[in-house]
Amino acid sequence: MRWHENELVVVTGGGSGLGRALVRGLARDGAQVLTVGRRPEALAETATADSDRIRTLSADIAHADERGHIIEAAQGYTVRAVIHNAGLLDPVGPLKDVDLDAWRKAMAVNVEAPVFLSQGLLPLMEPGSRILHISSGAAHKPSMGWGAYCTSKAALFMVYQIYREELWREGILVGSVRPGVVDTPMQDHIRTQTPERFPAVDRFIKLKQNGQLHSPEDAADFILWALLETGDKQFIEHEWNIADEEHAQRWRETRQV
């Protein structure tokens, strides 16, 4: 893709794992990237890949005032794309035991932040700009112990669909991607859970043991392919899923050219 100096991509959750791989992939492609996370040291490590193209901002997207700092930092640029990558798995455990404050934190990070960060950045976008939600199988299938995560990801999927319909007529394109099970710190956290809190924990332990996790770099490449290389109608027509063989084949064929 051809990038202009006044264009910016905003990526949340860029301090590690998939977010770090996305930020570095965008910088390699020539994009100017503003990446956001709560840990300044982790963000600084991400930026070592290309300090000229990667800008960092320490902010907690769960809070409206800190989302305001992100919007301020993007002023003066055309926001070419936003990737809502940050996500919170906790609280893990049966719904009957979930703490109210922890529930609200999950909803703030996983649902409220994408809604209102997109809203705040829209005045900086132009026709053709794209917003991408990082989705999950948890949005479509219940998993015991993941009540907050499944609920918030299902809500995020609906946010994608509504924004997609509302913003299409303005030329702003909204898409969603399921990157599969990726070898990230979130997966490390999942494997520490007890069967009482998360009955499916053994499955995730075996995925790691059997080498069945996607690397952050491969998952990021699939996501950036969907974001940057699909046509307008292709990008928004459905949720892209790395586990869908047709979707994965189209990605691989593009990469072989």
42 and 184 Cβ atoms separated by less than 8 Å: no
Sorted by sequence, the CB contacts under 8 Å of residue 237 that are 6+ apart come out as none
**List 77, 149, 160, 163, catalytic entry:** 149
CA-angle at 96, arms to 94 and 101, nearest 5°: 90
Beta bridge partners of 121: none
**What are the sequence ranges of the domains in the chain?**
7-256
- Cα torsion angle, 76, 161, 103, 189, sign: negative
Confidence of residue 245 (pLDDT cuts 50, 70, 90): very high
Per residue in 70-94, pLDDT (tens digit) is 999 999 999 999 999 999 999 999 9
Rounded Cα gap, residues 55 and 163, in angstroms = 27
194 and 204 Cβ atoms separated by less than 8 Å: no
179 and 214 Cβ atoms separated by less than 8 Å: yes
Q: What is the mean pLDDT of residues 27-40?
A: 97
Does residue 68 register a pLDDT over 60? yes
Confidence of residue 254 (pLDDT cuts 50, 70, 90): confident
Rounded Cα gap, residues 156 and 24, in angstroms = 25
Confidence of residue 2 (pLDDT cuts 50, 70, 90): confident
pTM of the model: 0.95
Q: What is the mean pLDDT of residues 20-47?
A: 98
Buried/exposed 35-66: b ≥16 CB within 10 Å, e otherwise: bbbbeeebbeebbeebeebbbbbbbbbbeeeb
Sorted by sequence, the CB contacts under 8 Å of residue 123 that are 6+ apart come out as none
Does residue 38 register a pLDDT over 50? yes
CATH number corresponding to 7-256: 3.40.50.720
Annotation marks residue 163 as catalytic: no
